[in-house]
Structure 1
Amino acid sequence: MLAERGETAQAERYYRAAAASGHTDSLVNLGVLLRQRGDLDGAERCCREAIEAGDTDAMNNLGNLLRQRGDMAAAEHWWRRSAEAGNGDALASLGALSTERGDWARAEELFRESAQAGNATGMLNLAQVLLRTGRVREAERWLRAAGETRAAPEPALAPEGPDLRAVTAWLDGPAR
């Protein structure tokens, strides 16, 4: 709650106290807070400590941090480990990596797996791939599912089909 209100110094204090008592989720949250602050070394230490405790979210977060540092091989390694453990965010990250490599078929597989696991990012990215290939109705179903998952307003859908400009605008931020 403190972090959401922007009281990061107080949030950090409580995260550190909880992490010191063995609360792995607080360690993961501390890593996110430190990364947002720009302390990548501190964030990486938190991720690695949480990974040692078996946290798959920390594996995904470490992948994101390593990507930020430009180490794509290491990022991919951690996303794969996290995805193998069933982490939907990691599957979506691997899908995004596949799109960057131009492997749209593999990206669709990964986004679909992420989406079917209930991950809103995977749903949005799958919808984007489906729109790209002209499968508008299926894309619309995934957009609706993502809207329900995220409790976010979905783009306007006309009776004859989706307003593609509204869909594109809605996808622009989350799909990234």
Structure 2
Amino acid sequence: MIVSRMVSMFLRFGELVCAAVVLGIVSHFLHQYDHFGVGPLGREIYTCVISSLSVLFSFLWLIPSTSSFLHYPFDLLLSAAWFAAFGALVNWIDRVNCGGIWNWGGITARGSYCGQWKAAEAFSFIAACFWFSSFLLGVYVYHKLSRDPVATDGTRRRRWHRSRV
């Protein structure tokens, strides 16, 4: 159980870092849109909302507890939302003159629009993978805990009946 908690904390920290990076980059793009009116506003707002929710929930669920494994349906939902954000970012890169989606040349150029966009794209994909891994870990731990036998004191407890005490 200690290994799953450590892996969960690692995944939650990765989710937090990736979401914070994407939030910072996309917020910069929203600021640029406000000044110049250039860019895909809907895609930026969607990605900003998903990354904000991810920062919030990954920070809250970074606190180790058994209940943090019970959020695996929400992990799957956020993973799907991150994959959708990645797809929205990839779809926009085709419309601007930044090369193909797998052309990573110029990503290190300081202040480059294409480099920043591709960095947001990459971190959104990594965030989606972290959220999906967290979902898989949650499913594994939840079903492992539900199958493990529980030690009792030997008395048989009746369920769904009134107590005679």
Please indicate the TM-score interval, normalised by the length of the shorter structure.
under 0.3
User: TM-score, normalised on structure 2?
Assistant: 0.26
- Higher relative contact order at CA 8 Å, sep ≥6: structure 1 or structure 2? 2
